[in-house]
Structure 1
Amino acid sequence: MAAWVRAALSAEDRAALLRFRESLQMRHSFRASIAACLVLSTGSAALAQTAPAAPTREAVVARAIESVIRPGYERLDKAGEVEAKAFTELCAKPDEAKLKAARQGFADLAQAFGAVEFIRFGPITEGSRFERYLFWPDRRGAAQRQAQIIVNRRDADAATSDLLPRKSVAVQGLTALEYVLFGNGSDALASQAGAFRCRYGATIVGNLGQISDAVAEQWRHPHGIVERLTKPKPSDPTYRSTQDSLQELFATVVRGLTAVRELRILPGLNALPGETKTNLFLFGRSDHATAMLVADLDGLRALLADSGLLALKPGTSLDPAQELGAIAVSIRALGPDLGQAAGTAEGEAVLRDAMARIQTVETVLTTEVAPALGLSADFSALDGDEKDTP
């Protein structure tokens, strides 16, 4: 302040002016503090958003059931209902449009099953339900061969819902249904000439519906398998702790990935002389091999990511869920006939690359995730997949 101004002011005025200046300084300091707090708060919020707290193991098990397993079986049950309706209409008044609807229903049903195919614990293991739903591997074509015999001989027992379950599992499931809808002579389904074939197919679908309905109901119920997994007890023979439940989920993914490599892709690449590559891919005869393989990968990816299991061990050398999604995209680009794709140098290269990448995901899971979570990677990867015996 200029000297002449200070001289013109009284002592009282100068004191008031000094208090005003101090007030301004305090306001400036307060505003700076508020701004600093806002910066810190915003930074903390951003940090919290980018690095959320890891879920508990109990939460992972619960989310696996609520977000993946239970809705997966619900979708399977719903797809079965749609296919049953399609067969009812086809058998009642056969024509090309209804046959097309039944074939599309098969595709939807197969893919819905693919999403939960590798869940080999719980209700699906009771009463040979899984084997009755899908007989595979089947390198010798037992399902196709036996289903053809049933159709040619018009075996009435196979078209009776109470008697079909007494026959070989090879003629009860999706692979037999594939023959009914897409095998030799299947175009007859569009007319009365395919009446018996239609009844046999409808019986298969009806029995599959009973299986999916029972399994979905058991996963829907709060007790039973759900309670055993989410509220393990020392007296339970399998799930004595949450760690046992988490181990079940982890083993499911690793076994599933190994099965995709060795039982879904490799046989088609290593066809023996006289073998048709297309027939060595699951549902290759109906041009649904690619869709089924993608459904398998998507189901396993969901079990890893949507459950939160991967969030228990962040910072792996690659993101397993993201990598599985990318592999599925590369396989989908090959088109519906994997056998035809495998017969080309480019297609074979894509499939072999997919196998290598899947194995890398397995390695990350078993060497990085498993040790960090105290999980075992010492189990038979193909337990329950050694079929091919009708």
Structure 2
Amino acid sequence: MRRSLSLVLLVMSLSGAGAASAAQQDAVPADLGQRLVTTYAAPATQRLDADARALAQALDALCKQPAAKAAESVQARFRSVVLAWSGVEFLRFGPLVEGNRYERIAFWPDPRGVMSRQVQGLLADPAVTALDAQALSARSVAQQGLPALEFLLYRDGGVLEAARQGRAEAPDCAYAQAAAGALALQTGALAQAWSAQGEYARQFSRPAADNPLYRTPREVAAEAIKALSTGLQFARDVKLVPVLAEPYQDSRARRAPYWRSGLTAPALAASVASMLRFHDAAGWALPAEEAWRVEGLRRELVQLRDVLGSLKAPVRDLLQDPEGRRQLTLATLLLKNAKDLLDQDLAPQLGVTIGFNALDGD
């Protein structure tokens, strides 16, 4: 009798596991990879590439004819590139991690100030005036990418300040032009990989038994969920928490991304808004009784986007203002809530286990 009961319980357990697995599989759209590529990754990387090329052209024009209007154009183009990059940086897998591409686009965080030391060292080298995009791409990742370009543009006496005075300093302009060109090389390769003609996009879009990267839609789902989870963690633990540490010191602001250009809050808002669009593009097909898991995460991301989008001041001013600090602190709580909802509520319903991510060991 006892043995018969055990066998019945075992059969019930296996049947339940099979049903749960089937439900998890049904929650992942069969065309998940295709919709994430065509709806999000391809257009987002194409926009980044177009903005990077426009920035390079604006810098070329400024260095030929320095003026306040040219400086305004470069500043606007730089902002566009930062916001476009903020919409791509959480896709921290595949093409973005090949050949240190992530670090070549954005060598950050940089708590030891490696970038500023290496950039200033290169500026002091007379050979910098002969530097081009290809040559710079082969150098240290700290000497290229958005942080280095921001330093060249926005530092005291930098390219923008000189242009407003009708000047174009040869070392600074030559370096900035090379940096913008090197950035465009990386964004071009990234956009191509995610394009309809790209091999990686094809593999991500069409999981199959003979696909060397993704055999099933659930494996694509795991990549997507982990990217979102890591993006939320990076925004909270790396971008915000160190900046908000007590007691407040002016140096805290300098630990924030894009503090020189005043783009800290806009970049964070753009990043969250992009993760929201990526989440929406997935179209998770949970049963009606479980749909709250998708909507709950969405509501958290919408609130987070709106909180960050309301912050218009530079990060230094926000940190010195009690209300600004309160809003930034609220953002850290919302980021944690969103990550918990994703990791603990949504991921298990999709059959995804959150394990190690790109930040482990950093």
TM-score, normalisation: structure 1: 0.79
Give the whole-Å Cα distance in 1 for the aligned partners of 2:80 and 2:234.
22
Partner of 1:20: none
Question: How far 1:78 moved relative to its partner?
Answer: 0.8
Is structure 2 residue 279 aligned with structure 1 residue 304? yes
Q: Which of 333, 344, 347 is 2:310 aligned to?
A: 333
Q: Which of 256, 280, 292 is 1:315 aligned to?
A: 292
Question: How far 1:222 moved relative to its partner?
Answer: 4.1
Question: How far 1:272 moved relative to its partner?
Answer: 7.4
> Is the Cα contact below 8 Å between 1:67 and 1:307 reproduced in 2?
no
Unaligned runs of 5+ in 1: 1-53
Give the whole-Å Cα distance in 1 for the aligned partners of 2:145 and 2:223.
26
Question: How far 1:273 moved relative to its partner?
Answer: 7.9
Q: Which of 228, 244, 265 is 1:253 aligned to?
A: 228
Which amino acid in structure 2 is aligned with residue 208 of structure 1?
A: L
Give the whole-Å Cα distance in 2 for the aligned partners of 1:96 and 1:57.
51
Question: How far 1:230 moved relative to its partner?
Answer: 2.3
Give the whole-Å Cα distance in 2 for the aligned partners of 1:271 and 1:104.
33
Partner of 1:366: 343
Question: How far 1:79 moved relative to its partner?
Answer: 0.3
SS of 1:319's partner is helix
CA RMSD of aligned residues (A): 2.3
Q: Which of 55, 63, 80 is 1:108 aligned to?
A: 80
> Is the Cα contact below 8 Å between 1:277 and 1:340 reproduced in 2?
no
Question: How far 1:317 moved relative to its partner?
Answer: 8.3
SS of 2:178's partner is helix
Partner of 1:120: 92
Q: What is the correspondence of 1:1-390 to structure 2 with a 5 Å cutoff?
A: 57-156=29-128, 159-186=131-158, 187-190=161-164, 191-222=166-197, 224-270=199-245, 276-309=251-284, 314-316=291-293, 319-380=296-357, 382-383=359-360, 386=362
SS of 1:105's partner is helix
Identity rate, percent: 27
Aligned pairs, number: 332
TM-score, normalisation: structure 2: 0.85
> Is the Cα contact below 8 Å between 2:32 and 2:217 reproduced in 1?
no
Q: Which segment is superposed worse, 156-165 or 75-84?
A: 156-165
> Is the Cα contact below 8 Å between 1:298 and 1:328 reproduced in 2?
yes
> Is the Cα contact below 8 Å between 1:150 and 1:158 reproduced in 2?
no
Give the whole-Å Cα distance in 2 for the aligned partners of 1:175 and 1:355.
23
> Is the Cα contact below 8 Å between 2:105 and 2:145 reproduced in 1?
yes
Deviations 1:119-163 (A, max 9, x none): 112222222111110001112222123222322444427732232
Unaligned runs of 5+ in 2: 1-25
